[in-house]
Amino acid sequence: MKVVIIKYNAGNIRSVYFALKRLGIEAEISDDKKIIMSADKVIFPGVGEASSAMKYLKAKQLDKTIQMLTQPVLGICLGMQLMGKFSEEGNTDGLGIFNFQVRKFSDVPKIPHMGWNNLNKMTGNLYQNISMQKMYVYFVHSYYCEIDVNTTALCNYGFDFAASAQKNNFFATQYHPEKSGKTGEIILKNFLDL
């Protein structure tokens, strides 16, 4: 199986690479359109700032490439946010794969929302073979995705927000499965098994 991690102007790519390696997958990190298009699975991870990341994607024409992908694609954290319609971070237009807007946290105990938090109302392929009672995953973000029809899990941090989403072949998580221990490992494996 050929797994490609999209390289763009964002951090956290290496931690995803090593998480996949622990699962026996030697992923390729690339910003080459042909390599990305030829993958069996594509992962679009990232920690960073939305407008500069989107600028890099557009400069490399990866925005159009991602939108055209037909194989399973997993967006993580900033990757999920950039798959939305619009982000308040840098007033950035997203890829429009999902219809949600990305908003800045306000009136919450602390920004960023960082650390372990539980999920609820999980549905869909990413959550197979997971005990729903102790569903804790790792978050670090200052912006959140609004809940919409494609939301597949919720997290509460002062209020509910979309912790994950799915639309056709596109999957996304606001949390970091690669930093979420055994639970995250199962989520990544569920994605790879699609």
Catalytic residue among 89, 141, 145, 176: 176
Catalytic residue among 77, 89, 141, 155: 77
pLDDT at 11: 83
Q: Is 20 exposed, middle or buried (0-12, 13-18, 19+ CB in 10 A)?
A: buried
Annotated active-site residue 176? The verdict is yes
Catalytic residue among 28, 89, 178, 185: 178
Annotated active-site residue 141? The verdict is no
Rounded to 5 degrees, φ, ψ at 9 are -75, 65
Annotated active-site residue 49? The verdict is no
Instruction: Encode pLDDT of 29-69 as tens digits.
Output: 999 999 999 999 999 998 999 999 999 999 999 999 999 99
Instruction: Encode pLDDT of 96-123 as tens digits.
Output: 999 999 999 999 989 999 999 999 999 9
Q: Does the domain at residues 3-192 carry the CATH identifier 3.40.1180.10?
A: no
**With contact defined as beta carbons under 8 Å apart, do 141 and 77 qualify?**
yes
pTM of the complete model: 0.97
Cα first-last separation, the chain = 11
Tokens 């509910």 belong to residue: 160
The overall average pLDDT reported for the chain is: 96
Instruction: Encode pLDDT of 150-177 as tens digits.
Output: 999 999 999 999 999 999 999 999 999 9
